[in-house]
Amino acid sequence: MSQPHRKAALNLYKTLLFLGRDWPQGYDLFRKRLHKVFQKNSSETDPEKIQTMIKHGEFVVKEIEALYKLKKYRTLKRRYYDDS
């Protein structure tokens, strides 16, 4: 793996670990699954495939952030507005 891809993969891993702190099923489960996925793909050497996987990981980061924002919005809505 070339240096830019390695740096991007490490940055993605750190970002996902940070986002995993608020995972509903728990941080330990999230961390184990994340580690398993990155370990499974660690032997990949094709730069195009690595770039595709990194882009997919960045998409997953955006999806997780959107889920957390939706959860926050629903919580605030429940607190301040009447359900009826």
SS3 assignment for the chain: CCHHHHHHHHHHHHHHHHHHHHCCCCHHHHHHHHHHHHHHCCCCCCHHHHHHHHHHHHHHHHHHHHHHHHHHHHHHHHHHCCCC
Question: Which segments of the chain have a pLDDT < 50?
Answer: none
Given this model, what pLDDT does residue 10 score? 94
**The pLDDT value given to residue 2:** 74
In this prediction, what percent of the chain has a pLDDT beyond 70?
96
What pLDDT sits at residue 3?
A: 84
Contact predicate 23/30, CB 8 Å: yes
Residue 83: the pLDDT is 67
pLDDT at 1: 66
